[in-house]
């Protein structure tokens, strides 16, 4: 039977699904997907390597079995059998997470059920004579931080139960997000500029992956590079050369500082990096060689406080439209014919309809074609696609969202 892999999608599920499909390939069966988890049949996936590569996925693992309903005894037996197989250490540390996929059980009840299962499993494991530790938390789901800091994957396992209305699936986690490395690149870098906005490194990574091109040995350009988030992720993914440009001298100084820090702390050799201070609309005056990938977050407008009138926001968006249009005209010549662009454009969130750029019109005028990053087979998931065919990225309490669009030149 084909192995069934699972991917926990995190708080931007559409983006995570699109990222997985762009890296693994759209020709797989993506029909078993919910806003929390994707189940993907495939025998040949290297889940640890995939987890390392993907920016938007929290955990990956393999399904072990299926039960018709919650059965504490059977679940405890299954989990204790698998946790004894953990390599190396004498002590067994295990944890259990429950994802209530169909939202059938109330949280309190779920937590109590989980605690009882944990204790029952511990009791069975004690019969091995080895020291046993059951790791639990206040939530029904263990975070990647808990899984990692307690070394569960090396010494017993994290077991993951998916509750559906008509079945219970049990899996074992193979890898979790390396939260320390992500957080070090996000908060540890020497230059940060919250005012003009920085992409979270995970989102920068996801955007590069969405291009659907193996970045190894490729040339990547970020023409609004800010403090260099996309450039760092591109180097980590093995790009042969990365080019950053920005209109602001401060942004360029920040990028230089961050890239120096990054090279010294994370790389064995210095990356092949070219940096320019330039408006994106005039970049060809300084740089002419076409690239494989243009991955960027454009200017988003000034920071928002949330009280701006719709008219003033619309005016701002019109200014950005001119900047985006002129930049795209310039950048089209700097993209190879088979190259791909992934842009984060601003989306102003208001009490009414969000205010967006008229991207459909712009792309038609300028000769670009939007690529749908969502695989055909997962259409049934209620997906947050924007009218221009982009994926909407928004975080709680923020007034500026982003429209993430994958596109290429049209012929």
Contacts to ligand SAM by CB under 6 A:
196-199, 223-224, 226-227, 229, 246-248, 251, 279-281, 297, 299-300, 323
Can you read off the two tokens belonging to residue 361? 């019109």
Our CB check for ligand SAM shows the closer of 33 and 198 to be 198
Element holding 37 (H helix, E strand):
strand 37-41
Our CB check for ligand SAM shows the closer of 56 and 229 to be 229
Give the torsion through C-alpha atoms of 17, 102, 3, 67, to 10 deg: 170
Smallest gap, in angstroms, from Cβ of residue 310 to ligand SAM? 22
Give residue for tokens 């197989």: 85
Smallest gap, in angstroms, from Cβ of residue 244 to ligand SAM? 9
Residue 39 backbone dihedrals phi, psi, to 5 degrees: -105, 125
Q: Give whole-number Cα distances, 292 to 199, 204, 243, in Å.
A: 21, 17, 11
Do residues 291 and 219 lie in contact, with contact meaning Cβ atoms separated by under 8 Å?
A: yes
Smallest gap, in angstroms, from Cβ of residue 404 to ligand SAM? 12
Our CB check for ligand SAM shows the closer of 152 and 341 to be 341
Smallest gap, in angstroms, from Cβ of residue 142 to ligand SAM? 30
Cα–Cα distance for residue pair 285/390, rounded to 1 Å: 31
Smallest gap, in angstroms, from Cβ of residue 54 to ligand SAM? 19
Helix 201-210 and helix 229-236, axial crossing angle in degrees, nearest 10? 60
Our CB check for ligand SAM shows the closer of 39 and 407 to be 407
Smallest gap, in angstroms, from Cβ of residue 406 to ligand SAM? 17
Query: Shortest Cβ contact with ligand SAM: which residue?
Result: 226
Our CB check for ligand SAM shows the closer of 209 and 227 to be 227
What single DSSP character describes residue 387? T
Our CB check for ligand SAM shows the closer of 148 and 205 to be 205
Cα–Cα distance for residue pair 292/182, rounded to 1 Å: 25
């Amino acid at each position: 039977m084909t192995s069934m892999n699972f991917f926990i999608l995190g708080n931007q599920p559409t983006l995570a699904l699109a990222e997985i499909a762009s890296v693994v390939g759209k020709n797989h069966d993506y029909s078993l997907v919910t806003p929390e988890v994707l189940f993907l049949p495939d025998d040949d996936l290297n889940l640890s390597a995939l987890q390392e590569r993907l920016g938007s996925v929290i955990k990956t693992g393999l399904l072990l079995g299926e039960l018709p309903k919650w059965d504490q005894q059977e679940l405890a037996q299954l989990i204790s059998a698998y946790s004894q197989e953990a390599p190396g250490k004498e002590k067994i540390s295990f944890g259990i997470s429950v994802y209530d996929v169909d939202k059938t059980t109330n949280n309190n009840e779920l937590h109590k059920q989980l605690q009882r299962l944990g204790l029952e499993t511990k009791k069975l494991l004690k019969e091995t004579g080895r020291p046993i530790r059951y790791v639990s938390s206040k939530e029904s789901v263990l975070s990647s931080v808990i899984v990692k800091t307690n070394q569960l994957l090396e010494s017993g396992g994290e077991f993951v139960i998916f509750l559906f209305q008509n079945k219970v699936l049990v899996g074992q986690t193979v890898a979790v997000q390396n939260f320390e490395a992500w957080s070090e690149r996000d908060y540890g870098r020497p230059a940060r500029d919250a005012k003009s906005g920085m992409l979270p490194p995970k989102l920068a990574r996801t955007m590069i992956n969405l291009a659907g091109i193996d970045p190894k040995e490729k040339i990547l350009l970020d023409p609004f590079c800010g403090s260099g988030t996309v450039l760092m992720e591109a180097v980590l993914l093995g790009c042969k050369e990365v080019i950053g440009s920005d209109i602001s001298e401060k942004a360029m100084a920040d990028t230089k500082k961050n890239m120096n820090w990054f090279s010294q702390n994370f790389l064995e050799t210095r990356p092949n990096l070219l940096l320019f201070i330039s408006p994106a609309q005039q970049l060809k005056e300084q740089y002419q060689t076409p690239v494989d990938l243009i991955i960027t977050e454009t200017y988003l407008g000034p920071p928002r406080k949330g009280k701006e009138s719709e008219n003033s926001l619309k005016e701002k968006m019109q200014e950005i439209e001119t900047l985006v249009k002129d930049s795209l005209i310039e950048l089209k010549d700097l993209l190879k014919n088979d190259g791909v662009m992934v842009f984060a454009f601003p989306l102003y969130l208001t009490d009414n309809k969000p205010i967006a750029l008229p991207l459909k019109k712009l792309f038609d005028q300028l000769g670009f074609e939007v690529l749908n990053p969502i695989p055909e087979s997962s259409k049934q998931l209620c997906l947050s696609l924007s009218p221009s065919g982009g994926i909407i990225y928004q975080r709680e309490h923020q007034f500026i969202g982003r429209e993430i669009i994958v596109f290429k030149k049209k012929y």
